[in-house]
Amino acid sequence: MTPPREIVQPTGDITAAHQFSVSPSTFQSPISSSSFMASALAHRSAPKQLKPFNTEDIKILLLENVNKTGQDILKAQGYQVEFLKTSLPEDQLIEKIRDVHVIGIRSKTKLTANVLREAKNLLVIGCFCIGTNQVDLDYAAQHGIAVFNSPFANSRSVAELVIAEIITLARQLGDRSNEMHRGTWNKVSNKCWEIRGKTLGIVGYGHIGSQLSVLAEAMGMTVIYYDVVTLMAIGTARQVPTLDALLEEADFVTLHVPETPETKNLISNAQFEKMKTGSYLINASRGTVVDIPALIKAMRSGKVAGAALDVFPNEPAANGDYFTNDLNQWGEDLRGLNNIILTPHIGGSTEEAQRAIGVEVAEALVRYINQGVTTGSVNVPEVTMRSLTLDEPNHARVIYIHRNVPGVLRKVNEILAEHNVDKQISDSKGDIAYLMADVSEVKQDDIKNIRDNLDSLSSRILTRILY
Ligand SMILES: NC(=O)c1ccc[n+]([C@@H]2O[C@H](COP(=O)([O-])OP(=O)(O)OC[C@H]3O[C@@H](n4cnc5c(N)ncnc54)[C@H](O)[C@@H]3O)[C@@H](O)[C@H]2O)c1
Ligand SMILES: O=C(O)CC[C@@H](O)C(=O)O
């Protein structure tokens, strides 16, 4: 069994907070501007901002150029925000993560068990993207670290990129453009096609796949899709029963599955064999989904007439001249192929998507830090509860993340029984459970006792008390 974590919070530790002589209602106030106080007085039942400690004690590390919208929301809370444009190699990441309560990343930063083991103060991870495969979600949950992402704010951007790529491949636009850049006029129509009437095969009919389905039909394409789940077809799209059935019928195959052990090399030699001669492959999902040496072989043989790759098994941590054989051993071979579009993982990289993701994830982080609400978390139970209000100055919110074993609720309620529990909610996900309870009329000493008693339970992973 994993030992419970001790969160070390500079002055934010509840024990330290307990030593403050201020009343909880003074201590919890996040914004001390007179306008805030005036409006709070005018609306006594406005939601109360809960804080476990002074906001400026919350340290946040944002990597990978997280959008300014997200930074601004976090800074407005008074948190200490450190911002870096790139991701960090493991040794530097470990050094930095030791100190922070929150980390914000995109797809490049690998938060493995090895890294998270050092993150003694970490409460929450924000993935400012869709994919969460870069985080060891299970390790995080087992240690009471919630993980949030943005499940669909960049879906439209990816779908639009794929539409552009379908036409670009069908018309060999990349090659023609490269030739013109080299001064060569090469006017050809051989093996250049309209996309109207062609069949698009979508593998993975989730947020992106289904959005793409709509756009492709509007362009006159026939859409078929394969998914491990039976899903409602949009428009006149048709679900096919197997991946092979899709590969045999599609003129364009596009991949929109997550990175999982099952999707590793989902498209390899056997699948290229099944594809129609002269068909096209697009991968804007994850680099591990396509066996690249097999793709190179299929393109050289003419089986595959073109490909667009936005994602790669190894991607550099920063922008620069890194797309070489040092990064991926087949890099040069790939670059030497005709009619192949290579892009640096920009499927979701539009102003619209990045701004929306910044807001969505930063707001989820603030809700979690300030109120303990886990709605939208991908690895811990989703729990929400009506906010405490300014009419309830001496209430405290108890959050107890624990192992989902028999008898815990009885023990927790024995501890809380001395107080009036206003409201309480509990839910579990696998072997992790999340309990939230609002207790009324508690004094600083009561808060310390509740925390000490909960901490002493063997089921405890993490206790937080917000007030
Ligand atoms: N290139 C980019 O910038 C970019 C941007 C966003 C997302 N992505 C990637 O795209 C992936 C898909 O995104 P989404 O939002 O559509 O995800 P989603 O979860 O909404 O949909 C994924 C679909 O794939 C299906 N699926 C899972 N395993 C499968 C398998 N083995 N075979 C067939 N179907 C399978 C699921 O049932 C689901 O319907 C993400 O996981 C992410 O890795 C890339
Ligand atoms: O912005 C990124 O780094 C990742 C984009 C995309 O792959 C996602 O998972 O949302």
pLDDT value for 49:
67
Atom of ligand 2 nearest to the CA of 154: 10
Q: Is residue 311 within 8 Å of 335, Cβ to Cβ?
A: no
Task: Please confirm, yes or no, whether 256 is among the known catalytic residues.
Answer: no
What does the alpha-carbon distance between residue 148 and residue 169 come to, in Å, rounded to a whole number? 35
Q: Indicate which residue of 286, 419, 451, 464 is catalytic.
A: 286
Lowest-pLDDT range, 40-44, 90-94, 356-360? 40-44
| Nearest ligand, CA 108 | 2
Task: Please confirm, yes or no, whether 286 is among the known catalytic residues.
Answer: yes
ipTM of the complex model:
0.99
Rounded to the nearest whole angstrom, what is the distance from the C-alpha of residue 130 to the centroid of ligand 1? 9
Lowest-pLDDT range, 164-173, 369-378, 388-397? 388-397
Condensed to tens digits (0 to 9), the pLDDT of residues 289-299 reads 999 999 999 99
Neighbours of 160 (CB within 10 A): 15
Rounded to the nearest whole angstrom, what is the distance from the C-alpha of residue 312 to the centroid of ligand 2? 12
Q: Judge if the beta carbon of residue 378 lies within 6 A of ligand 2.
A: no
Q: Is the pLDDT of residue 48 over 60?
A: yes
Name the token pair of 328: 């991926």
CA angle 281, 207, 346 (to 5 degrees): 55
Neighbours of 258 (CB within 10 A): 15
Q: Is the pLDDT of residue 1 over 70?
A: no
Condensed to tens digits (0 to 9), the pLDDT of residues 242-301 reads 999 999 999 999 999 999 999 999 999 999 999 999 999 999 999 999 999 999 999 999
Whole-prediction pTM: 0.90
Q: Is the pLDDT of residue 38 over 60?
A: no
Q: Is residue 107 within 8 Å of 313, Cβ to Cβ?
A: no
* Percent of the chain predicted with pLDDT > 90: 84
Q: What is the chain's mean pLDDT, rounded?
A: 90
